[in-house]
Structure 1
Amino acid sequence: MLRAVLSRDPALWTPLGCDAVGVPEHYGLRLMARLSRPGSVFADTDTGWWWWIVPAGSDRDLRWPEPAHYAPGACIPAGRPRLIHWPDAKVPYTPPIPLYLMICQLAGAVPSWAQLG
């Protein structure tokens, strides 16, 4: 499978590394309307997926529900993603916990926190 890495603008600071969370476009539209501080968001009209930049390791202790796709290193299935939302902050991140909880709600999934220790 071909893969692409979402490019970030060099003007944005990424002190925490970059991963990405993708959802189908119909979820993306609803998430954009609900999130108070979305970071960089990319849309791929070829595949119908929207991708949010989150700090690296945002999958630690979380099980992202289907149909969401977690992409370490912001390495996504190949397509032609384009930036559709520029963040208000100087970092490209969408806060992962609110994003996770909203995706769970849209997917009808109960948030699943991994057991620690």
Structure 2
Amino acid sequence: KKYDTIVFEENYSTIKILIGGEQNMIFPLSRFIKRLKDKFQLYKSEADGVQFVKPHNTSRTCHHCGHINKELKVKTRNWKCLKCGKILDRDTNAAINILNHWFNGDSLK
């Protein structure tokens, strides 16, 4: 009831759960997304609701300066931007970039 929009990356059908850099489980999100959409319809039908953006390079792009680290390996969970020096958590950085894509009007309708 508190929020008007929840933003996901486009390929939301599964989430890969990484523990220690290794994929241990794939969790289906389609039911969760459906429930969220239903809740928006019930409580906030005028809201944007669930939105999606393309996730390309969201975890490799520094949300602070925009530099793309093309050498970043999947197992690397924390990294330092080669351009601005900011230390980034890969998942948090990707989430910020996904939200920024939506703010910039890059959502998929």
| TM-score interval (norm. to shorter) | under 0.3
Rg larger in structure: 2
Q: When the two structures are superposed, what TM-score results if normalisation uses the length of structure 1?
A: 0.25
Which of the pair is proportionally richer in helix? 2
Q: Relative contact order, CA 8 A, sep 6+: which one is greater?
A: 1
